[in-house]
Amino acid sequence: SQKIEQNSEALNIQEGKTATLTCNYTNYSPAYLQWYRQDPGRGPVFLLLIRENEKEKRKERLKVTFDTTLKQSLFHITASQPADSATYLCALVGTGTASKLTFGTGTRLQVTL
């Protein structure tokens, strides 16, 4: 069966360090993958999209990698700040599924001073 897995345990890191979150998937052939941020009591907010033919995408302090062989995406936040504390969700669109996203359960990131 199709599955998207994110680490359900919270990730706690110190301010200034690089946070790395993992998204693994099985039985998908995604055309692209997206990362969203969700704060408590709010809807998710889009951060980055990476296509199947791209290895890496950057936006300011964010970097996403996409390895279709390993079936894995890594999401990095460099020079992390307490304001980066949130839950981060990955989402996949399969080839030919006309924009229908499937979301992972998310990983909570806590950045401490």
Partner 1 sequence: GAGVSQSPSNKVTEKGKDVELRCDPISGHTALYWYRQSLGQGLEFLIYFQGNSAPDKSGLPSDRFSAERTGGSVSTLTIQRTQQEDSAVYLCASSLVTGDHNEQFFGPGTRLTVL
Q: Summarize as ranges the residues that interact with partner 1 (CB under 8 A).
A: 4, 31-32, 34, 41-46, 49, 51, 89, 91, 93, 98-106
Cβ atoms of 89 and 106 within 8 Å: the answer is yes
CB of 106 to partner 1, least distance (A): 6
Closest to partner 1 by CB, 34 vs 80, is 34
Nearer to partner 1, 16 or 71 (CB): 71
How large is the greatest C-alpha to C-alpha distance in the chain, in angstroms? 44
Q: 83 in helix, strand or coil?
A: helix
**Residues 81/44/41/106 CA torsion (nearest 10 deg):** -70
Rounded-to-integer distance, Cα 12 and Cα 54, Å = 29
- In the complex, what is the shortest distance from the CB of residue 110 to partner 1, in angstroms, rounded to a whole number? 15
Q: Scanning the structure block, which residue is given the tokens 């998710």?
A: 44
Residue 20 vs 32, nearer CB to partner 1: 32
The least CB distance from residue 65 to partner 1, in Å, is: 19
CB of 14 to partner 1, least distance (A): 25
